[in-house]
Amino acid sequence: MVRYYLTNNQGQTEVAARFNINPSQVYSWTHKFNEEGIAGLKPNQKGRPRKMPKKTKHIKKRAQKIELSEKEKYEEKILQQEAELERLRIENLILKKVAAK
C-alpha cells in the first residue's frame, strides 16, 4: 500500500478507498516508512515482556522424544550388559569344567 501510494500520483483518500482502509492509516504508514524504512512498518510488541518464554507443543514433544531416546539408550545398555553377563557365566562354567578334568 505504501509503495502504491508513493509510486502513483494519487491522494491519500483515493489510495485509502482502493485498499479499503482509513485515510489516516495511509498517512501513518507512509510517515513511518519514510522515517524508519521497512522496519517501521513491522508491528511493535506492547506490554511488559515475559520473564520466561512459554513452552510450545513442539518443544514439549521434542523434550519427550529426548527423554524417550535416553530411556531407550539405557534399556539397550542393560540388554548389552545382560548378554555380556550371560556370556561370562558360560565361559566361567567352561573354565571350571576344564580345570576339574
pLDDT given at position 84: 96
pLDDT, tens only, 8-32: 888 888 888 888 988 898 888 888 8
pLDDT of 46 over the 90 cut: no
Looking at residue 2, what DSSP letter applies?
H
Q: What are the DSSP calls for 25-67, one per residue?
A: HHHHHHHHHHHHGGGGGSPPP-SPPPSSPPPPHHHHHHHHHHH
What is the dihedral angle through the alpha carbons of 78, 82, 84, 86, rounded to the nearest 10 degrees?
180
**Percent of the chain, pLDDT > 90?**
19
Q: Which amino acid is at 101?
A: K
Residue 4: CA count within 13 A, CB half-sphere: 11
